[in-house]
Amino acid sequence: MSDWTLRRDIRTPPPFRPSTPDLGWETGPWTMGETMHGLYSRPSSTGVRAVAILNGWEVSSWTELPMPVDPPLTSPWNRILAAPADSDVAAHLRHASPEVDWREWPVTAVLDGHLAYCDTSVTYQQLAALHARIEAKASSVEIRVVGGNADTVKVRMATTATVDELWDIPALIAAYQDVLPAPLAEREAEALLRHQHRPVSWYVDRPEDLAEVALSVWGLITGDNPAHTALEITRIARVRPRSPQPIP
């Protein structure tokens, strides 16, 4: 596994330490001199192969395109740690760190400035702590309670900053032009320019609008990294990406 390169990311959760030795938990088989932990990538025939590993256990793997941008508030961890509780990724997270409750992670990420928007569920106790933290910080974040049951409450929250305040739109457009066929790049550029002055919090009350935006916009709002978003754009359009240009 020595051909994997570690990608530094402030969102990488800390290594898990069992609270009790009789938990019966041990680190996983992914090692590279020592137990692997974090985001790793390596070149592949279709672009870049990437994997997320916690405590030696694989949590998620995917393919992405090589892109010369790494925008703020985007990361593979954003989609991984916000995975639905009944998903395979969430099951892998629980196996890799069995005593960690990941439900609060997306809302904490929005408050900490690591994520622009989230749509998730938390416990009522977590919701109370969340409101207290928003009031204490006088945070420029909007939050809505949009449903729930006896145990959890569904919330949507987002920063009030606009798209172009958070991201360098011209740089993103240029990066998509490097890897997408011209018609797709033009379509995504038009979408980014059309939405650039809109506050991210616009989508807190309008999730149907978010569901209809172009993938380049959706990726930014939900925190997905553009390299992964770009490949998804080509897959949905069923076209081959452009030959990647060397990244200096």
Which range is least confidently modeled, 18-27, 79-88, 226-235? Answer: 18-27
Is residue 124, in this structure, part of any structural domain at all? no
Tell me: pLDDT of 164 over 80.
Answer: yes
Query: Which two three-digit tokens encode residue 90?
Result: 């969430």
Residues contacting 24, CB < 8 A, separation 6+: none
On whether the CB atoms of residues 193 and 92 are closer than 8 A, the answer is: no
On whether the CB atoms of residues 58 and 1 are closer than 8 A, the answer is: no
Q: State how many domains the chain has.
A: 1
On whether the CB atoms of residues 191 and 233 are closer than 8 A, the answer is: no
Is residue 165, in this structure, part of any structural domain at all? no
Q: Up-side HSE of residue 14: CA atoms within 13 Å toward CB? A: 4
Is residue 235, in this structure, part of any structural domain at all? no
Tell me: pLDDT of 138 over 70.
Answer: no
Query: pLDDT: is 239 or 170 the higher one?
Result: 170
Is residue 106, in this structure, part of any structural domain at all? no
What distance in Å separates the CA atoms of residue 53 and residue 79, rounded to the nearest whole number? 14
Is residue 111, in this structure, part of any structural domain at all? no
Report pLDDT for 245: 43
Report pLDDT for 22: 66
Is residue 104, in this structure, part of any structural domain at all? no
What is the pLDDT averaged over residues 35-56? 94
On whether the CB atoms of residues 142 and 151 are closer than 8 A, the answer is: no
Domain carrying residue 66: 5-96
Report pLDDT for 246: 38
On whether the CB atoms of residues 96 and 55 are closer than 8 A, the answer is: yes
pLDDT band at 20 (very low <50, low <70, confident <90, very high): confident
Is residue 143, in this structure, part of any structural domain at all? no
pLDDT in tens, 89-137: 999 999 999 888 887 889 889 998 899 999 988 889 988 888 888 877 6
Is residue 105, in this structure, part of any structural domain at all? no
Enumerate the H helices of the chain as residue ranges: 76-81, 88-96, 105-111, 124-137, 163-166, 169-179, 182-195, 207-212, 215-222, 226-237
pLDDT band at 247 (very low <50, low <70, confident <90, very high): very low
Report pLDDT for 2: 64
